[in-house]
Chains A and B, each alone.
Chain A
């Protein structure tokens, strides 16, 4: 197994992620959040959804799941760790990425294609993209308004039209090493023409290229 996709109670994008990774030639397997062993995985994805019903705050309960210890260990070791949508919120709650999420500025649940621009290519998710490259991928969130009072977050993909009030128009944020990235829109839902866009491919292909054993696929 190359890519472990963590399933929390209330996750709902794990099948999409597993499908997209396999479509792009990677190997992916869903892993239950109560598992603790990620030793067979070279990379991990925290998928979108509403883990634990977003009780208290988005990601607040999920970050306490047994598997999160292993996710943190992988992040610290330099392995690729990707959080998508709710997975991004979980990484922030866990303190693995800086900042936190509040409700969208206009209190709208945004569910549409949006345009983003890659602003930093020194991360595992953006290494195959060009600076300034515009991508059209679906956004599907109510609490997508990223806030970082410390201004330490490294914004690597930005919205071009500020749909939700996110600070610095952040759509994706990386840790300093670039091996951990959280992204609010869904690249896995923009991987086939049938879905209306294939712009998510360059991001997931970069991610897979950074997975050690996937490079031999």
Chain B
């Protein structure tokens, strides 16, 4: 019988990413609810030393597979290794982060196993018969779907930054199991031929704790420097509305909304964003929403927890100065 709750950890340049601890924590909470054990899967090259760190977030066991072909993520190689492990050990539940990697890998594996997959979930719970159930936003958050993914293993991905971490227990050490790499590298149909690092030190929107975002009210690309200054103080990511992106002021990767990125930071500061429905859909699951807009009638104020009716070009530098004071004290 299928048993155990498994999760797939993620690494970048050999170091675990924060989403790995989130997915380990989610697995632990479910396992505690059904008296099960948890196991993580960690793939990469030179990553074995990272495996014990997953113990602090509840992993009882970590399967580690190391090979040069696993250094950077490719769907082929990662799906091949994980499919082998899952077929051998038959976990009941298999969890991923809803990062770009987790979404990609889980989709391919669910199709290989012919099982259901609950994508980009914001909450997990167990049904009366101890099955995984999940809540996920649909229509970019204009509605929610509660569902049970069917089949074995039950599969789901959790939105980064939403479900949180369990209190770490630094004394807990997982059993680390080395898994041989059994794929023929020549059989792989995709390979990473180059890797372009983002050297600007920008924080990824989907994983940011704080986002400072600007819309049409910014009036031009040169004015984003005031948002970047605020973002630097807050260690925040900078986002943009669709109209700002379509005007060519900001790169498309910065777009927040139904046709851009759907984000859930702790704090979302919308500056000069009127609040078109497709933008609101992409950020309304933020914990605290702040609006700075000189139009008191702007729809963004309907969604905001705090707002000021003010010219952003006056207000933003003052806010930056005040944030700096607080963070330095």
Chain A bound to chain B: no
Residue numbers of A with Cβ under 8 A of B are: none
Residue numbers of B with Cβ under 8 A of A are: none
